[in-house]
Amino acid sequence: MNNFLTPIKSFLFRSKKTFSEIKDELEELLLVADVGVDATKKLLNELTHDKNVVDAESAYAALKKACLKIVKMDPRLRGDDNDGGMTKIKSPLPGGEGVKGEGENLNTPHPAPSPPRGEGNIQGSPLVYFFIGVNGVGKTTTIGKLGAQFVQKGKKVCCIAADTFRAASGEQLEIWAKRIGAELVSSKMGADPASVVYEGITQALTSQVDVVLIDTAGRLQTKTNLMQELSKMTRIAAKVLGRNADGIFLVLDATTGQNALSQVELFSQAAPISGLVLTKYDSTAKGGIILSLVAKTKLPLLYMGVGEKTEDLIPFNAERFVDELFNEGEM
């Protein structure tokens, strides 16, 4: 894991100044590390009001506690059973981060995804997940990797190529579907994406598919059309299923830094986002983006892409994330 704390550790461990004397420089280091304005303010506020923080060394000791508090701010990311009355994603995902059921949270392990259950779900119908995001963030690759994990758990998967505006997207999804042994529903270039979604889910219902993964377009040039397009697709899915889709996941590129926040704002206007997937995390040293995203959006981070292999799409675990940040490269 790339550690944005390394320069901060170096600074705090070498400084002999009081906390008040190093506060401004610490703020600058946090911002440079892509922690973001909101998360930086929260961190500094925690340290400022901690009576034990008197110098640089004690500031470092308190920083881990403050980081964990931010990452676990959203009850859906806590390591306890208190969901704060917030709605969780209805269905479990593979890999160990539970998102469904009484007393479950993102740190509850699930050995495998199970058939839909819960309010509004129809017994025997597939889990349906939409993947949204701008072009180039890794939506199709994320679908392929997640689909592979479902297949490894013995689930029948169908991939729907609803990005009908880029030939490369459909071709890439076709390659992934063949590689992992999933069904594929696609259409010709320029086709109505909602029609492709309708056809795909209808086919999934008749062929006893367990999981449907839907790839979507990421055009930003026409914001209104994008919003209308996503809204139409989710309405069609709900009509065919008799319930809402089980999740709408926004895929973000970690290397874009704070630009990811503007993408969350844009896409949240187009669709009710269930959670986030952060790709290319292994390619950035500015890992503070995770703190920034959670502090600003209050959305759960579900998966992180940390490499090219299928198994390199890993579930996000709040406790483990902070532990690794502070244990790696201790000085």
Cα–Cα–Cα angle for 306, 220, 275, rounded to 5 degrees: 45
Is residue 136 classed exposed, middle or buried when 0-12, 13-18 and 19+ CB atoms within 10 A define those classes? exposed
Q: Domains of the chain (ranges plus CATH)?
A: 86-317 (3.40.50.300)
> DSSP letters along 41-91, please?
HHHHHHHHT-TT--BHHHHHHHHHHHHHHHHT-SGGG-SSS--TTPPPPSS
Sequence-distant (≥ 6) Cβ neighbours of residue 309 within 8 angstroms? none
What distance in Å separates the CA atoms of residue 211 and residue 230, rounded to the nearest whole number?
A: 20
Tens place of pLDDT for every residue, the chain, 331 residues? Answer: 557 788 888 898 889 999 999 999 999 999 988 888 989 999 999 999 999 999 998 998 899 889 988 887 544 433 333 333 223 344 457 654 433 332 333 333 333 333 333 333 345 689 999 999 998 899 999 999 999 999 999 999 999 999 988 877 789 999 999 999 999 999 988 899 999 999 999 999 999 999 999 999 987 656 678 788 999 999 999 999 999 999 999 999 988 888 899 899 888 888 899 999 999 988 765 668 888 888 888 898 999 998 888 889 999 888 888 887 777 544 3
